[in-house]
Structure 1
């Protein structure tokens, strides 16, 4: 699997980042199979969060074996310093490790959330403390929603975050305002040498029926051709250091195959497939609370 340099951190991260939201509600047996599948595919960057159900607990038993082989990232969604400090320490305990490669301020998708997280007494102060005490090596920021790129661009003005995890897919890229904000963010990450990671690569739209087929809160592509086109389109952007895999264990194999095959995709072929998708839209029209 291709690796790309994760900004000034220097880590050569696999372009597929294991999105451990997929482990939120699965058994340890299912988690073990999925984690092994990721490792066998060459994935060396694992991304989880305190709010991802049982995900940290499912990854924990693997750490004694693989901790030195992977880049390990988690997130805190807390906004106040003390609560975030407790969250970071709990994550270390659940993950059965004494160090994280990256702690991320989670779900910061608008300026109000950014103000809370980066203001006096905010979660950023806990992340800095964790870094200064050797518990984490770097600090990043993540977020969903149409305002995420602009918010993350502002975040880089306030603090030298080493990484940004922000949304991009073909549907979002067709929105001129969104694309302009994303391009501005991407240029800034290049200027400050921050890692730029992507979420929602294979999102198709919000769910339109009650019987959801997958554990993702949005409806994902689940046909190989569309997954391959969507992944190839995002990874053609040289600023992107990697994409987080979808929060559903059964979709991992499609993404792995898409990464292997993406050299066969021309711009014209990507556009032909993705322009032909019916009801292809932003997943942020209706987000879960």
Structure 2
């Protein structure tokens, strides 16, 4: 699989990044409990299969259940072959407050040390803030702690997982974060506004939500009535599917990889078939200019409505 530079970090990553949440905890449409998940041995086998197939970039988090521990077991003896990205525990407590001073330093360093033990490694390639907001991005103490961890060699690159285009703009402007994880897909294309700025600043972009929790696949049918207009819009991509002869997941994957500013795209992989589909899509041949322009015209007209977290809370994704 082709590798792309991860911004100015000096790290090169596979075009597909293995999203590790699904192997660590129940997540996604139709996954209710552990019975719907892979066993640990099956997950390790899948991780090895991904690495052997050319995927070298693996994404996890302290908050992803057993994901870090499973990756630690899988890659204990192959650490030099993989690029590991993990994320700090959520910084905002139940009262909506961020720790400060020594408590903040202990919290962040404690989270990283827990991750290092679970991953069975002395350092991670990318250490990210998880679920940031403006308050976190504006907090100079947080930035300083992450930069010190980088100086100490416990992490190679700093990162932040953002949600809104405004957060992306702010994160790039700080000059602190080497890598940003952003939501971007056929439906919600708002983040493209800052692609060129990220490239100019040497910030690596890792795209998530490429398949919108599976909605941009066969799962995007017979949705909750509240999502009727979403389902209708997804059906409209049949035009592009006919034009390209790609199924919807492949079309969505190739669309994101058609942007040279994107370093890698995160794909949630908890089945061998999803791995095979991702490998087939990331073949180095992406959308032609005419198809790209049409795809850009077919973004969902109300992107603020595309709030998967809210949909889950409302039980619209059952």
Counterpart-to-counterpart distance in 1, 2:193 and 2:296: 24
Structure 1 residues 270, 89: CA separation in 2 closer, same or farther (over 3 Å shift)? same
Residue 111 of structure 1: which of 130, 134, 142 is its match?
134
| Matched residue, 2:6 | 6
Aligned CA distance change for structure 1 residues 273 and 189 (closer, same or farther; 3 Å): closer
Asked if 1:42 is matched to 2:54, the reply is yes
Q: Tell me if the contact between 1:31 and 1:58 (Cα under 8 Å) persists in the aligned partners.
A: yes
Pairing 1:173-188 to 2, within 5 Å after superposition: 173=189, 178=190, 182-188=191-197
Shift of 1:75: 0.5
Secondary structure of the corresponding residue to residue 234 of structure 1: helix
Q: Does 1:94 align with 2:118?
A: yes
Given the superposition, is the C-alpha separation of residues 267 and 37 from structure 1 closer, same or farther in structure 2, using an over 3 Å criterion? farther
Aligned residue pairs, count: 263
TM superposition shift of 1:193: 0.9
The match for 2:260 is: 238
Query: Which aligned pairs between 1:105-254 and structure 2 lie closer than 5 A?
Result: 105-108=129-132, 110-115=133-138, 118-120=139-141, 122=142, 124-144=143-163, 147=164, 149-173=165-189, 178=190, 182-203=191-212, 204=215, 208=223, 225-246=247-268, 248-249=270-271, 251-254=274-277
SS at match of 1:8: coil
Q: Once structures 1 and 2 are overlaid, which stretch shifts more, 127-136 or 13-22? A: 127-136
Aligned-pair distance for 1:159?
3.6
Deviation string 1:75-98 (CA, Å, 9 cap, x unpaired) is 113324222221111000000001
Given that 1:8 and 1:162 are in contact with CA atoms closer than 8 Å, whether structure 2 keeps it comes out as: yes
Taking only aligned residues, the RMSD between alpha carbons, in angstroms, comes to 3.2
Report what 1:66 is aligned to: 78
Q: Give the Å deviation of 1:200.
A: 0.8
Q: 1: distance between equivalents of 2:199 and 2:298?
A: 32
TM-score by length of 2: 0.72
Name the SS of the counterpart of 2:128 in structure 1.
Answer: strand
Distance 2:249 2:282 in 1: 10
Unaligned runs of 5+ in 2: 26-37, 92-98, 225-233, 314-318
Runs of 4+ in 1 over 4 A off after TM superposition: 267-283
Cα separation, 1, equivalents of 2:292 and 2:249: 10
Alignment of 1:9-20 (within 5 A): 9-20=9-20
Distance in structure 2 (CA, Å) of the matches to 1:35 and 1:75? 19
